Structure 1
């Protein structure tokens, strides 16, 4: 019963809504509310700030939900370990990725699924780098693919995968399409479509422009790499995109991918997992695949720059 009550608390903290939390636990809202009241009585503390609607967790509730997440994750890890011992790895691997790394995820999930045919994979995309770390800490994902940062202290393990490089993606209608390579200063003079400033992929670009003393004012901003490609296809805008997207899409018709130089800038990308006393069997298996990966070499073999 206690585990069920902890599930209710974790669901409410995640959904921030009583009805949605109840739906996610496959119970009625009165059942969920009663379970939470019993948990409060058993622990002797108030966990939920109540009114006609969910008002948030109490400070005590915020502390208890961390323990609840840990207990439920340990229970799931124990069950997965037992199943793996009996019949091989099965269950669902949950992976989170920043948008710029989405196309690289398949280079890990394919060998993982081949090695563990009883597993399934759920990939969450369009996460900010900070959200990847938060979801690892709250046990919502098993592993993430993101940028290396100083935030990855003793709480996280990082497996390097590749260096993200950048190209100027330009339509043939713009003069930059005639260049064999472009400087970042030349790129700044293009009518640019870029990611929104809050995303790590954009912050990397902004740091380069700041370094060379050239401000950049994009005409269009978006939170989607696919949207960048779509805008370039109109012939009106150019963009700066990670070279990994060319691995999947190639260089679309009517565009050129021009390498960016002066400076040549790369960002370190890798698989990140939370350090636990006992790592989940899913996380361990995925890390083993990442450590054997030849992703960096694969992503170096990019398509021709002209299309």
Structure 2
């Protein structure tokens, strides 16, 4: 039944029979037959069908919750048995908000020193998508904000407190200041992350509290794009200080801390609320705790 539950999860994710079949490496007739067999075994209709996928039935939505739990438990069991036989090995899949990517690299580097046979896949995405991917078993863990928007039922380990700085060219008029207030940013040509990013919503909130309407000249979901516009177009951006460090080591950029208020938001590792965790994820959570204490 496990393979059929995995087919069902894939279909719920893709919402399309062909794409779901492609995602798990089977033919569409094989996937359709597997879903039918699962329905026969459970004695209920799981999928609303017409000429194409139309959604899940109420029973299908409930079965999906069980399928995620069962498949997750089976994967944990297999990994635990393998770890007992060969030690920690395999792949960890992480989804990370853009502003935490440099911190993610430090965490995974420290982890890899202890467990060289573990490999990582790291994708950059929004905080909302981190939770969706975690729920759908498409990732093993995420790194996102912990204290600004609802997370649901997950396990968390705080990694660091995010504080903000104005990133601008060293020749810019405000570059010589030791700090600036949010209200001082009213007339600057800003480039910011897109509104689907929680970082943008946080920054917009602080600017609004200072009486500033957010109207960036450039929006992007990439910090590289933002920093490129600061370098080449005389703009400024607002980034977490720790995220900006990699862009400040060399070259003509500088960071001016933003105070009044000195805003802070917690960022950390997010994992499924499940016991036991897979051996790989348990080791990652342990390393995250060490990281947060260092």
Task: Give the TM-score range, shorter chain.
Answer: over 0.9
Equivalent residues, number: 293
* Mean Cα deviation higher: 106-115 or 247-256: 247-256
Query: Does the 8 Å contact 2:144/2:268 carry over to 1?
Result: yes
Q: Aligned-pair distance for 1:257? A: 1.6
Structure 1 residue 13, shift from structure 2 partner = 1.1
Kept in 1, the 8 Å contact 2:4–2:35? The answer is yes
1:287, CA displacement in angstroms? Answer: 0.5
Mapped contact 2:192–2:219 kept (Cα < 8 A): yes
Report what 1:273 is aligned to. 271
- Counterpart in 1 of 2:291? 293
- Conserved in 2, the CA contact under 8 Å of 1:98 and 1:145? yes
- Secondary structure of the residue aligned to 2:233 is coil
Q: For residues 215 and 252 of structure 1, do their structure 2 counterparts lie closer, same or farther at Cα, with a shift above 3 Å needed?
A: farther
| Structure 1 residues 215-240: Cα deviation after superposition (integer angstroms, max 9, x where no partner) | 33212222221111111112331111
Q: Which residue of 2 aligns with 1:179?
A: 177
Q: Distance in 2 between matches of 1:289 and 1:277?
A: 18
Q: Deviation digits for residues 236-270 of structure 1, max 9, x if unmatched? A: 31111111223333256332221212221121111
**1:82 correspondence with 2:81:** yes
- Normalising by structure 1, report the TM-score: 0.89
Divergent runs of 4+, >3 A? none
Equivalent residues of 2:76, 2:279 under 8 A apart: yes
Consecutive unaligned residues of structure 2, counting only runs of 5 or more, are: none
SS at match of 1:293: helix
1:163 equivalenced with 2:161 (yes/no)? yes
Deviation at 1:274, TM superposition (A): 2.1
SS in 1 for 2:80: helix
Tell me which residue corresponds to 1:248: 246
Counterpart secondary structure, 1:234: helix
- 8 Å contact kept, 1:197–1:203: yes
Q: Which residue of 1 aligns with 2:28?
A: 29
Deviations 1:70-104 (A, max 9, x none): 11111110010011111111111111111111111
| 1:20 positional shift | 1.8
Q: What RMSD in Å do the two structures reach over aligned CA positions?
A: 1.9
Task: List alignment gaps of at least 5 residues for structure 1.
Answer: 298-307
- Which residue of 2 is the match for residue 207 of structure 1? 205
